[in-house]
Amino acid sequence: MGHYYDIAKEITNELTTTLSNIDSNDVSKLLVEIQKADKVFFVGVGRVLLSLKAVAKRLAHLGIKTYIVGQITEPAITDKDLLIVGSGSGESAFPLIIAKKAKQYNATVAHIGANPNCSMGEYSDLFVKVPVSTKLQLPDEIPSVQPMTSLFEQSLLLLGDTLALMMIREQNIDMPSLWQYHANLE
């Protein structure tokens, strides 16, 4: 068995490589869309959805109205809203159906994924490529020692935290004041 620090270093090195290979212009475009939207919806499945829930929560702390597709208090999506789809392959059935539906209501759709040549492209207005290994095993993917698509889910979470810090710095938000948005029924 590998030593803890060696394995931790392998994982953080993968994350550094991945985050360094995301196009900063695409990230900036996504940030503009997030800030411009009345409401921001998120859709994904499995561990991707868990990462997206954390991103939605972080953005909610910054005053963004965020919703997870399917949550009990989800409002209607409109042409003033943004749907963020997390799907490495861009072929996951449920996110595809939701993206198609969002376009029927003229919402903006942003896809964060690893595969630019995917079915999701038909419904996406913006694509942010996270160039990691997917189940498709494409040639330009960053390989990972981790199981399955862990690197994608981790990168998605850190991309969300990066967007949040970009927003904080751009808007000169006072970080201690953010506690007013934190859950207090705990």
Supply the pLDDT for residue 173. 86
Q: Give the model's confidence band at 185: pLDDT under 50 very low, under 70 low, under 90 confident, else very high.
A: confident
Supply the pLDDT for residue 87. 96
Query: Is the pTM value of this prediction over 0.85?
Result: yes
**Domain annotation covers residue 139:** yes
Residue range 15-21: average pLDDT?
96
Which tens digit of pLDDT belongs to each residue from 23-67? 999 999 999 999 999 999 999 999 999 999 999 999 999 999 999
**Domain annotation covers residue 79:** yes
The number of distinct structural domains making up the chain is 1
Supply the pLDDT for residue 69. 98
Which tens digit of pLDDT belongs to each residue from 106-129? 999 999 999 999 999 999 999 999
**Domain annotation covers residue 22:** no
Q: Domain containing 78 — which CATH number?
A: 3.40.50.10490
Residue by residue, DSSP assigns the chain as ---HHHHHHHHHHHHHHHHHTS-HHHHHHHHHHHHH-S-EEEE--HHHHHHHHHHHHHHHHTT--EEETT-TT-----TT-EEEEE-SSS--HHHHHHHHHHHHTT-EEEEEES-SSSGGGGT-SEEEE--B--TT--TTPBP-SSSTTHHHHHHHHHHHHHHHHHHHHHTT--GGGGGGGS----
Which tens digit of pLDDT belongs to each residue from 63-106? 999 999 999 999 999 999 999 999 999 999 999 999 999 999 99
Supply the pLDDT for residue 7. 92
**Domain annotation covers residue 141:** yes
**Domain annotation covers residue 179:** no
Query: Structural domain of residue 109, as residue ranges?
Result: 28-171
| Catalytic annotation, residues | 153
